[in-house]
Each structure stands twice: as structure tokens, then as C-alpha cells.
Amino acid sequence: MHITAEVVGEQTHEIDLTREATYADLLHEVGLNPHEATVLVDGRPVPDDGPVTVEHVRVLRLIKGG
């Protein structure tokens, strides 16, 4: 499954995931983990262990170093 993951305020990633992939897997592919970011589908957060079912998501970083 081809996914477009827009990391809010940063860059957009085009990634390919298996049909069994979860949103935690998606975060891993963009270099983040569930402790520092959440995935939004239609503006709402989704559970990390939920299966990826859409082709476009937004990723909101909750923690950013500085």
C-alpha cells in the first residue's frame, strides 16, 4: 500500500507499507516513534496499533528537540 505521510511543519514522505502495517509501523518509516508523534486521519488521532487503512495521513510531532 502506497502512503503519503505529511509531517506537519516539516516534510512529506511517500512510503510503501504491507497490508498488515500499523500506524506505529508508519511512524517508524518516517523516523519517528509513538512516544514523540501521533498520526491523524481526517484530523483525528488514530491508535498506534491500528491497521493503516488510508492513503494520506498527517503526522503531528508531540515532542521536538531544541
Q: Which CATH number fits the domain that encloses residue 37?
A: 3.10.20.30
Q: How many domains does the chain have?
A: 1
4-55 pLDDT, tens per residue?
A: 999 999 999 999 999 999 999 999 999 999 999 999 999 999 999 999 999 9
Beta bridge partners of 16: 2
Could you tell me the pTM of the whole model? 0.89
* Residue 42 forms part of a structural domain: yes
**DSSP state string for 16-42:** E--TT-BHHHHHHHTT--TTTEEEEET
**Between 66 and 54, residue with greater pLDDT:** 54
* Owning domain of residue 11: 2-61
* Residue 66 forms part of a structural domain: no
